[in-house]
Amino acid sequence: MNVIIFGPPGVGKGTQSKRLQEAYGLCHVSTGDILRREIAKKSKTGLEAEQHVTRGEMVPDELIIRLVKRRLANDVQCQRNGWLLDGFPRTARQANAMVLAGLTPHHILVLDADDATVSERVLRRARDASHSGRKVRADDNAQTVRTRLREYHSNRNAVLNEFDKCAASPDSNPRSTHLPARPRAGGCTKSRERFLSQPRFLRLSTVNGEPSVGNVTDSIRAALSQ
Ligand code: AMP
């Protein structure tokens, strides 16, 4: 099973991904974690990404697409067990690049929560890290969270539409649940038709990310088992 976990900063994508990794043996690919490792190593990629990440802005699409494609192509566990993408795709171009590369999700989990709730969670994460002597993320502060939320809201629908626009049923939309694997006449390019003609189907589920971690995990597992 290949899954995308999608949602605003602080909604709990990382926490839920770890739980899903344990429960389903999925290969967890967090683009934020990959970038933070590259920045810590001061690699060429890290140096290119650092300013964007520190300001809460998106790193360039080409850079992140290259990193994800390379990881999924080289990681045997991802190929064998299926992957869980956390933090990717974040733009329509990234979603489109996935489709064109034949990287097909079976399920997109959209974790939703209020801006006020997720902002407070991010600031709490920074306070908790600081109190327990752990490294505080350079982008976990009030100003950067505003930028990250702005980036999220300005791209959310475009990302979901990228997967939605080849769906068969005329009433499918980013909040609906089931995107059947048949292209809508005239709506798809050849590559997208190839994507949708694979013997799988894409489901999109929206899960409320506001309740406790355990309750959100239960809702996610219910969505995945449908
Ligand atoms: P995250 O750990 O997912 O909150 O990501 C932290 C930061 O890494 C983001 O605010 C962006 O600066 C950068 N980043 C992570 N994933 C992506 C992506 N798919 N596209 C662009 N920038 C990304």
Predicted pLDDT at 200? 54
Q: Is 52 in the pocket of ligand 1 (CB under 6 A)?
A: yes
Task: Using a cut of 0.75, tell me whether the model's pTM lies above it.
Answer: yes
Q: How many domains does the chain have?
A: 1
CA dihedral 107, 33, 82, 163 (to 10 degrees): 30
For the stretch 54-100, pLDDT in tens is 999 999 999 999 999 999 999 999 999 999 999 999 999 999 999 88
Residue 53 lies in domain: 3-225
For the stretch 43-54, pLDDT in tens is 999 999 999 999
Predicted pLDDT at 183? 43
Atom of ligand 1 nearest to the CA of 86: 3
Q: Active-site residue among 36, 90, 93, 203?
A: 90
For the stretch 106-126, pLDDT in tens is 999 999 999 999 999 999 999
CATH number assigned to the domain comprising residue 12: 3.40.50.300
Min mean pLDDT across 11-15, 87-91, 159-163 is at 159-163
> Mean pLDDT throughout 199-222?
90
- How wide is the angle at C-alpha 215 spanned by C-alphas 207 and 7, nearest 5°? 35
CB crowding 207-216: b at 16 or more within 10 Å, else e: bebbeeeeeb
Predicted pLDDT at 201? 61
